[in-house]
Amino acid sequence: MQIEGYVQALRDDLLRVAAVGDEQTGRAAELLAAALESSAVRRLQEALGEAALEVSAQLESGHVEVRVAGGDTQLVLVQDGSDPEPPADSALDARITLRLPEELKRKVEDAASRAGISVNTWIVRALVRESSAPRQSGGSRNRLTGYGRS
């Protein structure tokens, strides 16, 4: 799926609307369209990611992934049941606002890109994995407690 075609259509729509104004309005629309281009691509990919999650919730087995390679975005049906997925009966309409340090955000985006899925899908899978992982007694799996002497 070529998302760039949809972004170009949005750009063309903006320029057509701006054409009713003067030359300055047209120039402002061109600048806005260029500035919003990467954001529009990202938002469309996020929408595809959410759509993939909704469709995945309706599947009895497997899941749908959004894979991005270069400028090409693909929706792929994966029959492998090895990755934990949200239960099919859970509604995927809950939303949260998550604030992250910029460095962590970049790491999450890189991990999702390497996995060929959207950031939203990557985070949902990480949360499902972490929330269903067996816990060791005594707290966190990676936490050290005690006293040191020098």
pLDDT tens for 88-137 read: 545 566 778 888 899 999 888 888 888 888 888 888 888 887 776 555 55
Residue 139 lies in a domain: no
Residue 141 lies in a domain: no
Q: Model pTM?
A: 0.48
Residue 126 lies in a domain: yes
Domain holding 29, by residue range, is 3-132
Residue 90 lies in a domain: yes
Give the total number of structural domains in the chain: 1
Tokens at residue 68, please? 């991005």
Residue 24 lies in a domain: yes
